[in-house]
């Protein structure tokens, strides 16, 4: 298993969508994909970690990402929390089950079923390099790019895929957990890439810092201010000239869906 994998796409072959932090809300994801006209035969969906926890359909969400060939998932910190909880037990297990982390959905499943999911998590990369039309290079990783290590994208890929030991463990922890660059409004860009897409740190709308996009808009929160956001690669799009995006929100009282909010550039093709 490589820590970083490549996906090469041609726009003419279909659309490329990105979602982060589904957190077990498979209903919201499938509703959103249907509304934007996602074509399972032509389009692909990259999931930037945190498929599970906090939502009742966490197992179903993991299985959806596992069995559908059009889905390309990454590991997030919640997949790591589940692995640590089940393999170590003790305090790690109780931390995963607490209300903040939301692993209590697992109580409905036999341990063998959960361990099978963890075994699949072990096969997931922690980063994807997305090349579109041999023109755009975009990296996707859950929480953060390790800016303070002063590594270009090519250098980081090389260390993650060929390195070993403590340095790789530190980089992986950073990629899965770090929040301080976003919280400190760090505007540094990553060399060698047109953009980097993250989730993990909740925004009210996708946020751009340097050439990094933070796209977790808190889909598991029942609030007018938050929802699940889907990015679609569009040359000339509203985010950095690379993506348009669509957000679905739940009514905080009925838990039903509001209409999907569309944020498209004038250059985007009509749906």
3-state secondary structure of 178: coil
DSSP 230: E
pLDDT 10s digits, 225-258: 899 999 999 999 999 999 999 999 887 777 777 7
Say how far apart CA 176 and CA 199 lie, in whole Å: 10
- Architecture of the domain made up of 4-78+126-263: 4-Layer Sandwich (3.60)
Sign, CA dihedral 57-62-67-72, equals: positive
Could you tell me the mean pLDDT of each successive run of 10 residues in the chain, 271 residues long? Answer: 94 97 97 96 98 97 98 98 97 95 97 98 98 98 97 97 94 97 96 98 97 96 89 96 94 75 64 39
For residue 257, the model assigns a pLDDT of 76
Q: What is the DSSP string of 84-119?
A: HHHHH-HHHHHHHHSTTT-GGGGGGS-HHHHHHHHH
Question: How many other C-beta atoms are found inside a 10 Å radius of the C-beta of residue 226?
Answer: 21
How is residue 168 written in tokens?
């790789």
- 20: Cα separation from own chain's centroid: 3
Angle at Cα 270 formed by Cα 269 and Cα 271, nearest 5°?
Answer: 115
For residue 169, the model assigns a pLDDT of 96
Angle at Cα 117 formed by Cα 111 and Cα 122, nearest 5°?
Answer: 125
Q: Where are the domains of the chain?
A: 4-78+126-263
Say how far apart CA 16 and CA 213 lie, in whole Å: 16
For residue 246, the model assigns a pLDDT of 97
For residue 266, the model assigns a pLDDT of 54
């Amino acid at each position: 298993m490589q820590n970083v994998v490549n996906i090469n796409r041609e726009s003419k072959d279909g659309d490329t969508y990105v979602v982060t932090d589904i957190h077990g809300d498979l209903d919201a994801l499938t509703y959103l994909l249907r509304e934007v006209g996602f074509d399972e035969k032509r389009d692909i969906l990259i999931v930037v970690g945190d498929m599970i926890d906090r939502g009742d359909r966490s197992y179903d969400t993991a299985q959806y990402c596992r069995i559908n060939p059009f889905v390309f998932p990454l590991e997030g910190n919640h997949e790591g929390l589940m692995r640590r909880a089940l393999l170590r037990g003790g305090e790690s297990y109780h931390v995963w089950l607490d209300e903040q982390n939301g692993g209590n959905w697992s109580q409905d499943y036999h341990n063998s079923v959960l361990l099978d999911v963890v075994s699949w998590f072990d096969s997931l990369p922690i980063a994807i390099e997305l090349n579109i039309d041999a023109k755009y290079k975009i990296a996707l990783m859950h929480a953060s790019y390790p800016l303070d290590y002063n590594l270009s994208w090519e250098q980081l890929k090389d260390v993650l895929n060929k390195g070993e030991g403590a340095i790789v463990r530190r980089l992986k922890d950073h990629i899965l957990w770090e929040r301080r660059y976003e919280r400190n409004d760090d505007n540094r860009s990553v060399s060698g890439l047109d953009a980097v897409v993250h989730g993990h740190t909740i925004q009210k709308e996708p946020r751009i810092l340097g050439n990094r996009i933070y796209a977790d808009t808190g889909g598991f929160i029942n609030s007018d201010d938050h929802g699940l956001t889907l990015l679609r690669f569009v040359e000339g799009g509203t985010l950095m000239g690379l993506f348009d995006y669509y957000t679905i929100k739940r009514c905080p009282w009925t838990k039903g869906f509001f209409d999907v909010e569309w944020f498209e550039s004038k250059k985007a093709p009509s749906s």
